[in-house]
């Protein structure tokens, strides 16, 4: 009797088409699916089968237990995954433009105004505004949480610490540092090859400036002081890496992977990430200049985003390693541009140190992974 009942339950779970809570389509598979991959709903709590899609409720309330049990939950729609990070760019620019309009009244001299815009201080202020990338997803995901605390909002976006905490954090930090340095060498190798193909009259220092971390900062860094460089490095690690990873990996990629699968979700996110970072090249009037800049900048950014995307997926939707990798990568790029322009004699020493840190990072990660 029990076997017959179990068999009927197995067949019942196989017939699910759509989730009754979030409206997500259930993947067609021979295996029994007992819960929704999107919102975590246990189907055994519902005595009926949803055969057709329907408009999901305005608010899907995930419990803290559901978030803890499945870190890959992404109840927001693919449309939201695309719209909000892109909209954040316009909001971020507004955040910068509004105070900038007041600055114009205090610096009426055009030459001094342009000098301020080209200063490291303005770059630091502009970079800090990227917190918008993190704030908007944090606000948006609250509607899907039964208890919308900051901890739960961060957790559903991929920022959480597993036990044992010290070993877990150690592994994620080492992975982030290792992938940042590895990505740096690979991205610059790609830039080097592209320079040889696109520009026959290749100039050696361009290898370190063909791709920029978040904005084109070469000329600004070349005139910056050591203190300003230190501030910029801190901002790159604590602001840029954190905010952009929350927006692009924790929010955009997570939602797209849920809907379109691993490969397509990661690649769509990577393409959008790359285009957003080079969009200013389309403001130039020369089609040839646009083409050359696109060929030099798009592949490095695409590769970097793919590296971060697959790292995020590999870490089972935990953002700590990608955040560290992104921030450290940006910081390394800033430091290297500074060294190339102002302390070129230390270039080989700096690269040697990076190589040693890369090897140590992966070796220590191996030890932690194996013995702890």
pLDDT at 92: 82
pLDDT at 244: 94
What are the φ/ψ torsions at residue 147 (nearest 5 degrees)? -120, 100
Cis-peptide into 164, omega within 30 deg: yes
Chunked mean pLDDT (size 10), the chain, 372 residues: 52 61 66 68 56 48 85 88 89 76 69 72 82 89 90 94 90 97 94 82 46 53 81 91 95 92 94 91 78 89 96 95 96 89 86 95 92 76
CA distances from 232 to 44, 214, 326 (A): 53, 12, 14
| Per-position b or e across 161-184, b if 16+ CB within 10 A of its CB | eeeeeeebebbbbbbbbbbbbbbb
Domain boundaries, the chain: 1-57, 78-371
């Amino acid at each position: 009797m029990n076997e017959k009942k179990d068999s009927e339950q197995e067949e019942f779970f196989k017939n699910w088409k759509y989730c009754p809570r979030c409206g997500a389509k259930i993947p067609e598979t021979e295996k029994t699916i007992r819960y929704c991959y999107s919102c975590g709903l246990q189907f055994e709590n519902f005595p009926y089968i949803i055969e057709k899609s329907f408009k999901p409720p305005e608010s899907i309330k995930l419990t803290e237990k559901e978030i803890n049990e499945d870190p890959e939950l992404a109840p927001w729609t693919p449309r939201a995954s695309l719209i909000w990070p892109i909209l954040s760019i316009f909001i971020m620019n507004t955040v910068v433009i509004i105070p900038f309009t007041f600055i114009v009244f205090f610096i009426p001299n055009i030459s001094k105004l342009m000098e301020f815009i080209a200063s490291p201080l303005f770059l630091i202020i502009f970079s800090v505004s990227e917190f918008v990338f993190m704030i908007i997803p944090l606000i948006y995901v609250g509607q899907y949480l039964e208890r919308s605390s900051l901890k739960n909002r961060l957790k559903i976006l991929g920022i959480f610490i597993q036990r044992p905490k010290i070993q877990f954090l150690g592994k994620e930090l080492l992975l982030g540092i290792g992938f940042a340095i590895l990505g740096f060498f690979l991205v610059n190798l790609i830039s080097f090859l592209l320079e040889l193909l696109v520009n026959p009259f290749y100039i050696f220092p361009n290898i370190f400036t063909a791709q920029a971390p978040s904005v084109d900062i070469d000329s600004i860094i070349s005139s910056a002081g050591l203190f300003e460089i230190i501030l910029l490095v801190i901002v790159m690690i604590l602001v840029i890496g954190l905010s952009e990873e929350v927006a692009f990996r924790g929010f955009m990629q997570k939602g797209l992977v849920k809907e379109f699968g691993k490969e397509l979700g990661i690649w769509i996110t990577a393409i959008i990430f790359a285009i957003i970072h080079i969009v200013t090249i389309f403001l130039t009037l020369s089609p040839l200049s646009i083409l050359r800049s696109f060929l030099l900048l798009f592949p490095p950014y695409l590769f970097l985003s793919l590296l971060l995307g697959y790292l995020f997926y590999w870490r089972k939707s935990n953002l700590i390693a990608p955040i560290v990798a992104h921030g450290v990568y940006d910081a390394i790029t800033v430091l290297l541009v500074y060294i190339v322009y102002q302390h070129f004699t230390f270039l080989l020493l700096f690269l040697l140190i990076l190589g040693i840190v890369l090897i140590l990072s992966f070796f220590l990660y191996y030890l932690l992974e194996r013995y702890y």
